[in-house]
């Protein structure tokens, strides 16, 4: 769960960088845009929501005529569609928010914050992978020990 939170923060800060770079490009061109109107027009989740709903409805099999199956399938479809809608809508709104914040506050230096989050991500990843090292080394050891045992047993190779 911590890794997902860190990834969301990294994405948010990255989107702030996008907003800041858009502001710098607009300054070089000598024009400023209405960033709120731009993000509302560019990032619209409702277009994708209906496409996903139709895709989920088409993929789930309704040919079985058992009443319980039909009810359960309908409930699973509803939960799945609403979850996808929630996740997509949330990510689009967070994207808008990050770009708008970066555009409106180009003076903030987000590099330190992003480097800090990336370092925390690597530390968490390392801490998560450490418990896997001992079993993997044990499996590799047993694998080679088994191969040597097979050589001794089948070929008559002696380890002296």
Residue range 120-148: mean pLDDT, rounded:
89
The residues near 145 (Cβ < 8 Å, ≥ 6 apart) are none
Count CB atoms within 10 A of the CB of residue 12.
20
Domain ranges of the chain: 2-108
Give the mean pLDDT of the chain.
81
pLDDT for 81-109, tens place per residue? Answer: 888 888 888 888 888 988 898 888 888 77
pLDDT digits (tens, 9 = 90+) for 4-35: 787 787 788 888 888 888 888 888 888 888 88
Can you give 11-65 as a three-state secondary structure string?
HHHHHHHHHHHHHHHHHHHCCCCCHHHHHHHHCCCHHHHHHHHHHHHHHCCCCCC
Give percent of the chain with pLDDT exceeding 70. Answer: 88
Residues in the chain: 160
Question: Nearest CA to 8 among 103, 117, 88, 130?
Answer: 117
In whole angstroms, what is the distance from residue 55 CA to residue 89 CA? 17
Judge whether residue 150 has pLDDT over 90: no
Residue 44 CA: distances (Å) to CA of 49, 95, 133, 144, 145: 10, 11, 44, 56, 58
pLDDT attached to residue 137: 92
Q: Per the confidence metrics, is the pTM higher than 0.85?
A: no
- Condensed to tens digits (0 to 9), the pLDDT of residues 52-70 reads 777 777 766 556 566 767 7
């Amino acid at each position: 769960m911590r890794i997902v939170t860190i990834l969301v923060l990294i994405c948010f800060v990255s989107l702030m960088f996008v907003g800041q770079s858009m502001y710098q490009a607009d300054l070089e061109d000598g024009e400023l845009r209405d960033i709120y109107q731009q993000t509302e027009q560019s990032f619209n989740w409702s277009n994708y929501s209906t496409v996903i709903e139709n895709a989920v409805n088409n993929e789930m099999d309704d040919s079985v005529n058992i009443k319980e199956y039909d009810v359960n399938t309908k409930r699973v479809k509803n939960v799945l569609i609403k979850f996808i809608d929630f996740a997509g809508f949330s990510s689009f709104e967070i994207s808008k928010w990050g770009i708008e914040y970066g555009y409106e506050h180009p003076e903030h230096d987000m590099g330190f914050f992003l480097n800090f989050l990336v370092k925390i991500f690597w530390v968490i990843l390392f801490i998560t992978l450490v418990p896997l090292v001992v079993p993997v080394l044990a499996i590799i050891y047993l694998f080679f020990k088994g191969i040597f045992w097979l050589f001794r047993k089948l070929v008559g190779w002696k380890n002296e």
